[in-house]
């Protein structure tokens, strides 16, 4: 990892550690996770036997929503504060098919392969999208699928001056090309959600969040 990437990663760790305790208290976070998790479930159509990796899991809003539909989830996040909040949530709700780990992609991927890999609003924090997609491909079983939710390309208004942002969203066509280059097939994009956000200038805008689904060929 380059020094600039190290700095970006640390900015994200510091920021999300600081806000972990209050994350679930934001209605827009809960609403976004609920809608995106349902879009992921509909797209992946799990049978209940799958192993799933979620990277950038945060406090586990999507983790908890998907857990009843799969056999096991490994929930990964670079911020220990977020993982701590998730562990407490799992205990509180009696969810016993989720393993948690502090870690980041693409530099420190977990061992093993998975039937599916999901993530929401995490890719824009990761500088090297090409490396990330290669790692996701490697960590999928043949026939496995990804479901990645993130912002459409925007002008930087969504985050304002918040630290730790590598990309102001993504152009769907360019990301589809990157997915194909990484080896994925059957790439499809849908709009999973619109998030309303009050900007630094006091105005309100709705930002589309896409769901990209693709398959590692069998």
Q: How far is CA 86 from CA 67, 120, 140, 214, in A?
A: 13, 15, 24, 27
Would you place residue 198 in the very low, low, confident or very high pLDDT band (cuts 50, 70, 90)? confident
**Residue 171, pLDDT above cutoff 70:** yes
Average pLDDT over residues 159-183: 95
Q: What is the pTM of this model?
A: 0.94
CA dist 79 and 204 (Å) reads: 29
Structure confidence by residue, pLDDT tens digits, 1-52: 556 677 888 888 898 989 888 889 899 899 999 999 999 999 999 999 999 9
The CA distances from residue 158 to 77, 107, 168, 207, in Å, are 22, 27, 8, 8
């Amino acid at each position: 990892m380059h020094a600039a990437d190290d700095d970006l990663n640390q900015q994200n760790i510091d920021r999300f550690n600081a806000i972990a305790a209050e994350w679930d208290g934001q209605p827009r976070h809960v609403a976004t996770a609920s809608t995106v998790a349902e879009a992921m479930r509909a797209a992946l159509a799990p049978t209940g036997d799958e192993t799933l990796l979620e990277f950038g899991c945060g406090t586990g809003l999507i983790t908890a929503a998907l857990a009843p539909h799969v056999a096991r989830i490994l929930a990964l996040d670079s911020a220990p504060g977020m993982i701590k909040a998730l562990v407490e949530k799992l205990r509180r709700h009696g969810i016993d098919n989720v393993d948690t780990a502090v870690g980041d992609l693409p530099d420190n991927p977990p061992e093993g392969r998975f039937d599916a890999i999901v993530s929401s609003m995490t890719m824009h924090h990761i500088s090297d999208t090409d490396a990330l997609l290669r790692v996701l491909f490697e960590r999928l079983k043949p026939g496995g699928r990804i479901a990645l939710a993130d912002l459409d390309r925007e002008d930087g208004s969504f985050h304002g001056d918040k630290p730790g942002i590598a990309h102001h969203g993504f152009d769907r066509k360019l990301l589809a090309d990157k997915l194909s280059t990484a080896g994925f097939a059957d790439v499809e994009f849908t709009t999973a959600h619109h998030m309303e956000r009050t900007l630094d200038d006091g105005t309100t805008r709705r930002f589309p969040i896409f769901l990209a689904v693709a398959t590692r060929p069998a």
